[in-house]
Chains A and B, each alone.
Chain A
Amino acid sequence: MELFNNLMLASQLVLDPYVLLVILGSAMFGMLVGCIPGLTATMATALLVPITFFMPPVAAVAAIVTATAMAIFSGDIPGALLRMPGTPASAAYADEAYAMTRQGKAGTALGVGLVFSAIGGLIGTIILMSFAPALAEFALNFSSFEYFWLILLGLSGAVFIGSASALKAGVTLILGLLVAAVGMENPAAHPRFTFGNSELLGGVSLIPMMVGMFAVSEILRYMVNTNPDLRVETGRIGGIFSGVSDALRRYRMGLARGSLLGTAVGMQPGAGADMASWLSYAVSRKFSKEREKYGTGHVEGIAESSAANNSALAGAWVPALVFGIPGDSITAIAIGVLYLKGLNPGPTLFLYNPENIYAIFMVFVLANIIMLPLGWMVIKLAGNILRVPRNILMPVILLFCVVGAFAINNTVFGVTLMLFFGVLGFLLEENGFPVAPAILGVVLGRMLEENFVTSMIKADGNFLVFFERPISAVLGVVTLSIMLWPLAARLFRRGDRISKKAA
């Protein structure tokens, strides 16, 4: 009964013409951005955020959910046609899809990708809907100790699971946490690192920073790219939905496996759609009956990992909504938006505003449904979209960023922040420092400090208190083992080598 009530209230929120228009608009936006190589799904989100700033909460979240779902699918299109994945989440199977294009089967590759993406997204959403409220109820009993460990778990996941160099990821994470420490909003309300600038008293404004890190740095990367633009070869794409029913019949196990694995990976802190798609491609190959066909233009792996990367999006929202802990940079941006809209994520959101939560679930469902017709259109138009001259597009996006960064506080200081973080993000990435941990650090910094300080005061110098409550003990042990694992592994390997030498 309560569920029914919530769904009724939520549908009033979602089926509002304004919200529906926002969903449609951001869906087309996401499709286009994902389809243009060099513009990632994360960038789509960062560009949308300044606009969502002016929307009511449900519309704002709807815009982000829809745009990212579309961008993750449409990243497949340049992957298939140019062998240049539109977003990193399509990289795992870009070679395979391109091989199919060269055999004249681009339509099948993209059609199967589209349908499996939509179904994967829906399965992920169902898991999100059934899992999140139960988890929230459980999380109501959490104290500052549990939260401290949970946040730390999320952050160490980002550092140790999803990155090539744990040291460098750790450095960017600390930089992000330091950025969050700027300003007066800390437990002691003492202004920190403001350099006497009154605009920094409230902290580093999140939106200009994200626009800088994810959009301006991409623009800079385009500017220094010395490889000439790829020539688009679009022959006939072929029938889009012709191979789909056959694929659905043959790969229904793969569809289920990809969606489940994707959702699970998405829930992991620090691992998102990219990793879901790589893992799932590998798993699909391992269990396939036609393993030898992989890499030669075989649709099976594409099907399974397309389902996985879209379901990962929904999975990432589980920790985001329940604990306010993002699983990847897209949900980190989304959480920033939730805070700005006064919808502070956490278990109490489920208690006091369940209609908002159910509205977000409904948006997920809607987004994955309209993905089918819109995706079909974009595939049909792909030849034209890929030919969009990027030398015109990139400067226009830059000007758009300027206005977006300005619009948050209506001061030019936002543009200064954007420039600073844009150049910083560019330099960091050039030197192999991943940017995603930094954004997680910025979003989670205040929460981590608050729970850290509260816990420390409660503990009064006795660190064992951090492990006294059963759940916090489990979380603590898991977190510490993730952090110490690489060290232990290295020692173990060294010991092994020494003993071999001795023998």
Chain B
Amino acid sequence: MRMNDAISGILLLILSASILIVVADYPTIPGQDIGPAAFPRLLGILLLIASLVLIFQGVRDRARGWIRLGEWTRSPRHLINVALVVGGLVFYILFSEELGFIPCGVLILSALFLSLRVRPVLVLPIAVLATLGIHTVFYQFLRVPLPWGLLQDMAW
């Protein structure tokens, strides 16, 4: 997905403007010119200038179109792949505490394997093995408290 530079420029313009607005409220240190706002304000101003140049360049090159979608955006399979990676991570963020690492891991891996056309017979065995492998390394060896969730009663 390639956006025209003008669009990136507008997004950056909004970002830099909001930075400048936010830092305007930062406290000043009595008797000194340099407060917590000074450095981010300087960055905000530089970003503002850069975004204006980007917009200028983008408008100049507008003949090449505003948004060029990559080939993958027309292929449902690839769209699903991307959605599964992002969606899988969101799913993990929301539900890992309740469901536990192992169920979440197996679920995310199986979904991705299926979408990436791993042979169906292999999907579940590999998903379980890989999840257990990662669990062992981090939970047993490195003592990371991965959540058990549903499997709390059979924790090992």
Per-residue 0/1 for A442-476: is the Cβ within 8 Å of any B Cβ (1 yes, 0 no)?
A: 00000001001100110001000000000000000
Query: Is B60 an interface position by the 8 A CB rule?
Result: no
Expressed in whole angstroms, the minimum distance between the Cβ of B99 and any Cβ of chain A is 12
Q: How far is the CB of A55 from chain B (nearest CB, A)?
A: 10
Q: Is A303 on the interface with B (CB-CB < 8 A)?
A: no
Q: Mark B1-45, 1 if CB is under 8 A from A, else 0.
A: 111000010001000000100110011010011111011100100
Q: Kindly list chain B residues whose C-beta atoms are within 8 Å of the C-beta of A187.
A: 34, 36
Q: Is B151 an interface residue (CB 8 A)?
A: no
Is B27's CB under 8 angstroms from A415's CB?
Answer: no
Q: Is the CB of A399 within 8 A of B105?
A: yes
Shortest distance in angstroms between B146's beta carbon and chain A's nearest beta carbon?
7
If A223-B82, A399-B134 touch, whether A418 touches B43 (CB-CB below 8 Å) is no
| Residue numbers in B under 8 Å from A449 (CB-CB) | 39
- Tell me if A406 counts as interface (CB < 8 A to partner B): yes
**Smallest Cβ distance from B117 to chain A, in angstroms?**
6
Decide if A398 touches B112 in the complex (CB within 8 Å): yes
How far apart are the CA atoms of A392 and B113 in the complex, in Å? 6
Additional 9 contacts, C-beta under 8 A, given A193-B22, A392-B116 = A171-B12, A186-B36, A190-B27, A192-B23, A226-B78, A392-B126, A395-B130, A402-B89, A430-B70
* B126 nearest in chain A by CB position: A392
Spell out A's residues near B (CB within 8 Å).
51, 54, 167-168, 170-171, 174-175, 177-178, 181, 186-190, 192-193, 216, 219-220, 223-226, 389, 391-392, 394-396, 398-400, 402-403, 406-407, 410, 412, 415-416, 418-419, 422-423, 427, 430-433, 449, 452-453, 456-457, 461
Write out the residue numbers on chain B whose beta carbons fall within 8 Å of the beta carbon of A407: 138, 142, 144
Question: Given known contacts A399-B105, A407-B138, A431-B3, is B89 in contact with A412 (CB within 8 Å)?
Answer: no
Known: A407-B138, A423-B86. A223 touches B81 (CB 8 A): yes
Contact assessment for B2 and A226 in the assembled complex, using a CB-CB cutoff below 8 Å: no
> Which of A171, A174, A398 has the most B CB atoms < 10 Å from its CB?
A174
- A403:B146 contact, CB within 8 angstroms: yes
Q: List 14 A-B contacts (CB under 8 A).
A: A54-B143, A178-B19, A181-B39, A187-B34, A223-B82, A224-B72, A224-B78, A391-B116, A391-B117, A399-B134, A400-B134, A403-B144, A431-B1, A453-B39
* CB nearest neighbor in A for B75: A226
The 9 closest A-B pairs by CB, nearest first: A391-B116, A190-B36, A395-B112, A188-B36, A223-B81, A224-B72, A407-B144, A419-B89, A449-B39
Determine if B155 is an interface residue (Cβ-Cβ < 8 Å): no
Instruction: Decide: A453 and B34 in contact? CB cutoff 8 A.
Output: yes
User: Given A391-B116, A391-B117, A431-B2 in contact, is the A181-B131 Cβ separation under 8 Å?
Assistant: no
Chain A contact residues, majority secondary structure: helix
Q: How many chain B residues touch A (Cβ–Cβ < 8 Å)?
A: 62
* A-side contacts of B81, CB under 8 Å: 223-224
Cα of A139 to Cα of B40 in the assembled complex, Å: 28
Q: Decide if B93 is an interface residue (CB 8 Å cutoff).
A: yes
From the candidates B26, B131, B138, name the one contacting A190 in the complex (CB within 8 A): B26
Instruction: Contact check, B50 vs A171: say whether CB atoms are below 8 A apart.
Output: yes
For the complex, give the distance between the alpha carbons of A468 and B29 in Å. Answer: 27
Are B112's CB and A171's CB within 8 A? no
Alpha-carbon separation in the docked complex, A418 to B86 (Å): 11
Let me know if B145 and A410 touch, CB within 8 A: yes
Q: With A and B bound together, what is the CA distance between A391 and B119 in angstroms?
A: 10
With A223-B85, A392-B113, A400-B134 already in contact, the answer to whether A406 and B108 are too (CB < 8 A) is: no
Quick check: B39 and A395 within 8 Å, CB to CB?
no
The verdict on B103 contacting chain A, using a C-beta distance below 8 Å, is no
Give the interface centre of B1, B90, B93 by most chain A CB atoms within 10 Å. B93
Smallest CB separation, A421 vs chain B (Å): 12
Give the CA-CA distance A235 to B26 in the complex, in Å: 66
Instruction: Determine if A412 and B2 form an interchain contact, defined as CB atoms under 8 angstroms apart.
Output: no
Cβ–Cβ < 8 Å partners of A399 in chain B = 105, 108-109, 130-131, 134
Cβ of A51: which chain B residues have Cβ within 8 Å of it?
142
| Cross-chain contact A192 with B72 (CB below 8 angstroms) | no
Residues of A within 8 A of B75 (CB): 226
